[in-house]
Chains A and B, each alone.
Chain A
Amino acid sequence: MTKAKQAAGAQTADSANLEQDLYQKRKKIYPREVHGLFAGLRFAGVSTLLGIYYIVPWLMWDGRQAILFDLPERKFYILGMVFWPQDFIYLTMLLVVAALSLFFFTALAGRLWCGFACPQTVWTEAFLWIERKVEGTRQQQIKLDKSALNRHKFTKKFTKHFIWILFSLFTGFTFVGYFTPIRELTAAIPTLGFGPWEVFWILFYGFATYGNAGWMREQVCTYMCPYARFQSAMFDKNTLIISYDQERGEPRGARKRGVDPQDVGLGSCVDCSICVQVCPTGIDIRDGLQYQCIGCAACIDACDDVMDKMGYPRGLVKYTTENALAGQHTSIFRPRIILYATVLAAITIGSAIGIAYRPMLELDIIRDRNSLFRETGMGMVENVYTLKLINKDVRAHEFAIGLEGVDGMKLNMPERVIRVESGDVVEAPVSIEVDPADLQKRTTQIHFTMKARDDPELFIVEEARFLGPYPGR
């Protein structure tokens, strides 16, 4: 086990202090505002992702919502494609691809996901931004919380929660807009004419946003996130981590600006504790890698800023690898990375091909449940089925229904040609008659065919069973 694993994973026996911290009652964390390269990157990530989330349901495609998970109709529209419950496998594949990407990026660059892309981080950042706009800086927030409840405090708190709740409701509204056409939802706002379940889910999702981003914050990462607990398994000595340079920093201590650390017998760390103040999970990076660290790099920006002011070189806290810290070469292309990348590429390409070539037709054959077979007045044996014709193609087609079975089998249905609109299902009751003398066995395999009349390439053959009496009876 590498040092990083020990530190980032389960707490070891000698880090009992950390364990105590973990189980302590939560102290509210007031992350100090930070500027710098990584704060800029996070702002870019957060605004892009929030933008995508709030804009996507408004995009249109061919006169309908481009991305719509139409649960009431049991159809998922994604751009030009329509997915059905039968296409469940592609959703599974998508999740596998997502999980593998997470593994790949974790092995390569540590907890990039947590610090820059996780919805928990993204919404918490937005909520922190609102909080700062209303309550002011970290110091002002702490002062406000310590002060007795007066009109000033009440106004500030009320304003903050009011904006938070509005923003949460808008988030919940957008969420429901992925499942119910968002333009219809918007049209219903003036009269509040939403369906009861739409109201419920707007409130539920809004409440979850408000609770997680406003109140829970880093506790979600510490207690709820499964990834935070197992991400260290993907770490090795070449994984990018955020680390404090112990060698250079210690012994830490305050000194005047511009003083050479060696002259006063100190390391580069001026012990200003700004790296702790900016940390959204309230840890001290100088204690080493901890599993609460979400890799947001706020401490890097903060420390670089201080180093600049002191006239010291940057990078006392920096992105590095365990190998680099030990003065060894960091290799990017290592078996673990190559393995993750290969499997990821294979499954992604496989899924893409699978989706591109997925069958455009489906023919479900449902046997009449009430009777196995029926004897007609003419001495024939009859089986009754319901055919479900599903057209997943983007165009409507007329389909000819055919039967391949025993000679002399007769297919009865009102219309032999059935038109199915794009993305539609048509049910057709059919019956098959045959002279029992033609049946060799009690169960006979038959095949229904469904062929598009305008496209010879578009057809499907489905197997069914025809049941009759025991032969010779």
Chain B
Amino acid sequence: MAEQSTSEQEREIPTIQKWIAVLWPSFLVAGVETIVFFTLFDPEYVFAEYEVSRTGAYSIGFFLFWAFAILPCLLTMYFAKPCKPCASTRDGKG
């Protein structure tokens, strides 16, 4: 019964909310990370070997931060999936 209701509830979470839960927090964190990182480190020095403008470095940096922040969000979604109760608890023995 419990299992059914959680999976039902999960099904009822709109897809849009799932997308947002992954893309949006990571976007916010990436924004903050970009500001802090590039305030401390001037891309002119950090990426001196690459032919990239500062604006380009900020932009690439932002999307890298975003990509890296998407990973933990996806993992959180994955681990937030309801677990099946083990056989003993389900049968009321535990």
Q: Mark B33-53, 1 if CB is under 8 A from A, else 0.
A: 001000110100000000001
Q: Is the CB of B16 within 8 A of A195?
A: no
Q: How far is the CA of A223 from the CA of B16 in the complex (A)?
A: 9
Q: Is the CB of B59 within 8 A of A201?
A: yes
Q: How far is the CA of A196 from the CA of B60 in the complex (A)?
A: 12
Q: Is the CB of A24 within 8 A of B16?
A: no
Q: Is the CB of A85 within 8 A of B53?
A: no
| Contact pick for A197, options B9, B13, B14, B55, CB 8 Å | B55
Number of A-B residue pairs, CB cutoff 8 Å, is: 45
Report A23 CB to chain B, min CB distance, Å: 4
Q: Is the CB of B53 within 8 A of A23?
A: no
Q: How far is the CA of A74 from the CA of B54 in the complex (A)?
A: 9
B17 at the A interface (CB under 8 A): yes
Q: Is the CB of B14 within 8 A of A195?
A: no
Q: How far is the CA of A85 from the CA of B40 in the complex (A)?
A: 8
Report B29 CB to chain A, min CB distance, Å: 12
Determine chain A's interface SS by DSSP, over half rule: helix
Report A346 CB to chain B, min CB distance, Å: 25
A71 at the B interface (CB under 8 A): yes
Q: How far is the CA of A175 from the CA of B69 in the complex (A)?
A: 25
Taking each of A26, A180, A224, which has the highest tally of chain B beta carbons within 10 Å of its own beta carbon? A224
Report A68 CB to chain B, min CB distance, Å: 14
Q: Mark B55-85, 1 if CB is under 8 A from A, else 0.
A: 1101100000000000000000000000000
| Contact pick for A223, options B17, B40, B59, CB 8 Å | B17
Report A234 CB to chain B, min CB distance, Å: 21
Q: Is the CB of B14 within 8 A of A74?
A: no
Q: How far is the CA of A217 from the CA of B16 in the complex (A)?
A: 12
Q: Is the CB of A72 within 8 A of B14?
A: no
Report A182 CB to chain B, min CB distance, Å: 15
Q: Is the CB of A71 within 8 A of B12?
A: no
A200 at the B interface (CB under 8 A): yes
Q: How far is the CA of A200 from the CA of B53 in the complex (A)?
A: 14
A24-B12, A197-B59 as given contacts; A71 in contact with B54, CB under 8 Å: yes
Q: How far is the CA of A88 from the CA of B55 in the complex (A)?
A: 18
Q: Which residues of B contact A (CB under 8 A)?
A: 9, 12-14, 16-17, 20-21, 24, 35, 39-40, 42, 53-56, 58-59
Q: Can you give 19 contacting A-B residue pairs, CB < 8 Å?
A: A20-B12, A23-B9, A23-B12, A23-B14, A24-B14, A25-B14, A71-B54, A71-B58, A72-B53, A72-B55, A74-B54, A85-B40, A91-B35, A195-B55, A197-B53, A197-B56, A197-B59, A219-B20, A223-B21
Q: Which residues of A contact B (CB under 8 A)?
A: 20, 23-26, 71-72, 74, 85, 88, 91, 179-180, 195-198, 200-201, 216, 219, 223-224
